[in-house]
Amino acid sequence: MRFLARRLGFYLLTAWAAVTLNFLIPRLMPGDPVELLVARMKGNVDPAAIDAMRRAFGISDANLWQQYLDYLGNLAQGELGRSITFFPTEVSTVIADSLPWTVGLVGVATLISYLVGTSLGVLMAWKRGTWLDGVLPAATFMHAVPYFWVALALVFVFGVTLQWFPVSRAYGLAVMPGFTGEFAGSVLYHAALPAVTIVVASMADRILGMRNVMVTTLGEDYVVMAEAKGLTSRRVMWAYAARNAILPNITSFALSLGFVVGGSVLTEIVFSYPGIGSMLLKGVENEDFPLMQGIFLVISLAVLVANFLADLAYVVLDPRTRQESE
Amino acid sequence: MKIKIGAGILVFFTLMAVFGPLLIGADPAATSDDGLQGPSAAHWLGTTQTGQDILTQIVYGARVSMGVGLLSAVIANVFAVAVGLVGGYLGGAVDEVLSVLTNIFLVLPALPLIIVLAGYLPQRGVASVAVVIAVTGWAWGARVLRAQTLSVRRRDFVQAARASGEGAFRIIFFEILPVLLPVIATSFLATVVAAILAEAGLSFLGLADLSTVSWGSMLYFAQNGQALLIGAWWWFIPPGLCIALIGTGLALVNFGIDEIANPRLRTVKTVKVKART
The tens digit of pLDDT for each residue in A125-155 reads 888 878 888 888 888 888 888 888 898 889 8
Residue from B9, B98, B105, B111 whose CB has the most chain A CBs within 10 Å, to mutate: B111
Task: Name the pLDDT band for A58 (thresholds 50, 70, 90).
Answer: low
* Average pLDDT for chain A: 84
Does the beta carbon of B250 lie under 8 angstroms from any beta carbon of chain A? yes
What average pLDDT does the segment A162-168 reach?
A: 84
The CA distances from residue A306 to A71, A75, A111, A261, A309, in Å, are 26, 21, 11, 11, 5
What parts of chain B have a pLDDT lower than 50?
A: 269-277
A36 falls in which pLDDT band (50, 70, 90)?
Answer: low
Across the interface, whether the CB atoms of A300 and B112 are under 8 A apart is answered yes
**A8 touching chain B per CB within 8 A:** no
Residues of chain A contacting residue B262, judged by C-beta atoms under 8 Å apart: 212, 216
Q: Is B137 helix (H, G, I), strand (E, B) or coil?
A: helix
CB pairs < 8 Å spanning A and B: 183
For residue B119, the chain A residues in CB contact (below 8 A) are: 284, 287, 289, 292
pLDDT at position A113, please?
93
Angle, alpha carbons B228-B229-B231 (nearest 5°):
65
Query: How many Cβ atoms sit within 10 Å of the Cβ of residue B147?
Result: 12
* Chain A touched by B264 (CB under 8 Å): yes
| Rounded-to-integer distance, Cα B200 and Cα B216, Å | 4
Locate the chain A residue with the closest alpha carbon to B259.
A212
Asked if A287 contacts A35 with a C-beta cutoff of 8 angstroms, the reply is no
Give the pLDDT of residue A114.
92
Is A279 within 8 Å of chain B by CB? no
Interface probe for A, chosen from B228, B242, B245, B257 (most Cβ of A below 10 Å), is: B228
Question: Is B16 near chain A, with CB under 8 Å?
Answer: no
From the list A159, A224, A285, the residue facing B206 with the nearest CB is A285
Q: Which of A 154-173 lie inside 8 A of B, CB atoms?
A: 155-156, 159-161, 167
**C-alpha–C-alpha distance, residues A266 and A253, integer Å:** 20
pLDDT at A10: 92
Q: How far apart are the first and last CA of chain B?
A: 30
Would you call A193 an interface residue with chain B, using a CB distance cutoff of 8 Å?
no
Q: From start to end of A83-214, where are the E strands?
A: none
Confidence band, pLDDT 50/70/90 cuts, at residue A166: confident
Note the pTM of the prediction, 2 decimals: 0.85
CB pair distance less than 8 Å for A13 and B204: no
